Amino acid sequence: MSSTADAYDDLLGRIERYSYLRDASMTLGWDQQVTMPEGGTPARARQTAALSTVAHDVIASEAVADRLDELADADLSGEQAAVVRETRRQHEEAARVPEELVEEISRTGAEAQELWQTAKAENDFEAFAPTLERIRELHVERAEHVDQQRDPYRVMYEGYEPALPLELVEDVFDQLRERLVPLIDELLDAADEADLAGLPDGEWDETTQMVLNREAVELLGYDFERGRLDTSPHPFTSGNQFDCRITTRVRPDDPLDALTATVHEYGHASYQLGLPQAEYGTPLGRPHWEIHESQSRFWENHVGRTRAFWELFAPTFNDHLGTELSPGELYEAANRLTPENLIRVEADELTYHMHVILRTEIERRFVSGELGVEEIPSVWNDLMEEYLGVRPDSDAEGCLQDIHWTGGFAGFQSYTVGSVLAAQLDAAMREDLDADVDALIREGEFDPLREWMTEHVHSHGKRYPADELIERATGEPLTAEYFLEYVERKFGDLYGL
């Protein structure tokens, strides 16, 4: 290219095209989960594979490599440098991994999902173990293609969280382990006396629950001109700054479950919808994976699980469900600890993190080869006993409960990083806003909260690496301190410690 400007524009066009194709693919994924008739799977699988291939070709192309070379020492603005940095990262990862390996990983993962379903249904880990080992080998091979010099687990981790040093996250996890295990112990000792309220027994149909869920996110500020709320087997968020949709799933006996999931997904959507529209398709208009879960956790926990929220929302809740619960009772019901629950996705706000820490430990040792695949069930059960004092009776309720490993490793930690960062952002917001945040919540005035997040987080897209963005938004690097203070205070109060 004749000039830096031309090279930059050409590169920008290519990363935009790549983004648009990925977003097209995401829409196909949403459709598959939400609206596609059952019989459509074979056709959809081929459409998705074709889209993957052409998107890969766009980002891994020689042309992108050439532009990156031409721009390597160019004099760029901060925004331009960020675009080049993010494009380079994605290009290198795509260009270094052979297409056949990408395809094998994708095929093996898809087959593994079916195997996993059967193995889980039949509580037969041995039937799944060889495939899990194969997935490990393939992902290690992939990591070695990306960077042969480094520990494969680290490479996998950085695929998710390139800018949050692994050591920092490990340090955060050590602190959580150190303080959460005794805290949970203390709280459980106090549980009988505290006798927190729960929901009454009952059944609430899907239509009723969905009207309630819709009202909740409308209240929080979800813009239905740029979103939708549907149901799917697993709740998820899909979209961009123009159109970001959420789903939830409904359990007849537990309307708090769907409501919490809905508010959680709303948090994800608020991030997407807060990205700058003018930067759609460029890295400046895309979210950080490292940050995403903090937004869902902020709305789920720091808004939806507060006493102030239930003071606001209890009448609506009672109205729709025909209950007569006080705000205090609903606040307690939304925050009851259930450490006896063996299933991560049903865990409470606090014990949840021991589930994540357990998986992170196991997958790290498994990826390194230190832990053999056949040892996973017993190590899992031992750690459950150590952390939460319960031991699964079956692998279906133990190491077979999550589908995630069919898609690879080193992604679980992001759930806990999200909660930790949510508390840190919440503290910074409360410090920063010239208002009583609880009073705002109680009044249903959520705009200032969302606007603070948009200003300090969403609007930057990937302008700054995640670690720098965190420091700019909160004044300090990621730290466990705010989260630990928050849960100690909140659950200490609830359980009368």
The pair of structure tokens assigned to 467 is 């670690």
Q: Is 44 in the site for a copy of itself (CB under 8 A)?
A: yes
Closer of 100 and 192 to a copy of itself (Cβ): 100
Question: Of 42, 78, 182, 233, which lies in the binding site for a copy of itself, with binding defined by CB under 8 A?
Answer: 42
What is the identity of the amino acid at 212?
L
Closer of 26 and 497 to a copy of itself (Cβ): 26
Question: Of 40, 315, 444, 475, which lies in the binding site for a copy of itself, with binding defined by CB under 8 A?
Answer: 40
Shortest Cβ 461–a copy of itself spacing (Å): 14
C-beta of residue 276 within 8 angstroms of C-beta of residue 463: no
C-beta of residue 137 within 8 angstroms of C-beta of residue 112: no
Burial 279-309 (b: 16+ CB within 10 A, else e): bbbbbbbbbbbbbbbbbbbbbbbbbbbbbbb
Q: What secondary structure does DSSP assign to 344-387, as a single string?
A: GGG--TTTHHHHHHHHHHHHHHHHHTSS-GGGHHHHHHHHHHHH
Pick the stretch among 233-241, 263-271, 456-464, 469-477 that binds a copy of itself (CB under 8 A). 233-241
All residues at 6 or more sequence positions from 395 whose CB lies less than 8 Å from its CB, including other chains: 123, 124, 125, 377, 380
Question: Of 281, 377, 398, 418, which lies in the binding site for a copy of itself, with binding defined by CB under 8 A?
Answer: 281
Closer of 50 and 345 to a copy of itself (Cβ): 50
- CA–CA separation, 146 vs 148, rounded Å? 7
Question: Of 126, 189, 223, 253, which lies in the binding site for a copy of itself, with binding defined by CB under 8 A?
Answer: 223
Q: Is 210 in the site for a copy of itself (CB under 8 A)?
A: no
Helix, strand, coil percentages, rounded to 5, for the chain: 70, 0, 30
C-beta of residue 108 within 8 angstroms of C-beta of residue 135: yes
Q: Is 98 in the site for a copy of itself (CB under 8 A)?
A: no
Closer of 16 and 290 to a copy of itself (Cβ): 16
Closer of 1 and 51 to a copy of itself (Cβ): 51
Question: Of 1, 24, 188, 190, which lies in the binding site for a copy of itself, with binding defined by CB under 8 A?
Answer: 24
Q: Which residue has the tokens 């498994």?
A: 366
Question: Of 113, 211, 224, 322, which lies in the binding site for a copy of itself, with binding defined by CB under 8 A?
Answer: 224
Burial 430-462 (b: 16+ CB within 10 A, else e): eeeeeeebeebbbeeebeebbebbbebbbbbbb
All residues at 6 or more sequence positions from 306 whose CB lies less than 8 Å from its CB, including other chains: 331, 438, 441
Shortest Cβ 431–a copy of itself spacing (Å): 33
Shortest Cβ 106–a copy of itself spacing (Å): 11
Q: Is 37 in the site for a copy of itself (CB under 8 A)?
A: yes
**Strand 237-239 versus strand 244-248 pairing type:** antiparallel
HSE-CB at 453 with a 13 A cutoff on CA atoms is 30
Q: Is 241 in the site for a copy of itself (CB under 8 A)?
A: yes
Which residue among 86, 265, 293, 363 is the active-site one? 265
Q: Which residue has the tokens 């109205």?
A: 319
Q: Is 47 in the site for a copy of itself (CB under 8 A)?
A: yes
Q: Is 280 in the site for a copy of itself (CB under 8 A)?
A: yes
Distances (CA, A) of 154 to 141, 235, 404, 472, 479: 13, 29, 18, 25, 20
Q: Is 307 in the site for a copy of itself (CB under 8 A)?
A: no
Question: Of 9, 31, 99, 174, which lies in the binding site for a copy of itself, with binding defined by CB under 8 A?
Answer: 31
Question: Of 3, 5, 6, 50, which lies in the binding site for a copy of itself, with binding defined by CB under 8 A?
Answer: 50
- CA–CA separation, 137 vs 95, rounded Å? 20
Q: Is 78 in the site for a copy of itself (CB under 8 A)?
A: no
Question: Of 7, 11, 15, 21, which lies in the binding site for a copy of itself, with binding defined by CB under 8 A?
Answer: 21
Pick the stretch among 54-62, 105-113, 332-340, 363-371 that binds a copy of itself (CB under 8 A). 54-62
Q: Is 101 in the site for a copy of itself (CB under 8 A)?
A: no
Q: Is 113 in the site for a copy of itself (CB under 8 A)?
A: no
Pick the stretch among 2-10, 17-25, 294-302, 392-400 that binds a copy of itself (CB under 8 A). 17-25
Q: Is 3 in the site for a copy of itself (CB under 8 A)?
A: no
> Of 290, 335, 342, 213, which is closest to residue 457 (Cα–Cα)?
290
- CA–CA separation, 208 vs 252, rounded Å? 10
Q: Which residue has the tokens 């209950």?
A: 323
Q: Is 121 in the site for a copy of itself (CB under 8 A)?
A: no
Q: Is 454 in the site for a copy of itself (CB under 8 A)?
A: no
Query: Would residue 133 show up in a list of annotated catalytic residues for this protein?
Result: no
User: Which residues carry out catalysis?
Assistant: 265
Which spans of this chain sit near a copy of itself (rule: CB under 8 A)?
A: 16-17, 20-21, 23-25, 27-28, 31, 35-44, 46-51, 53-54, 57-58, 223-228, 239-243, 245, 277, 280-281
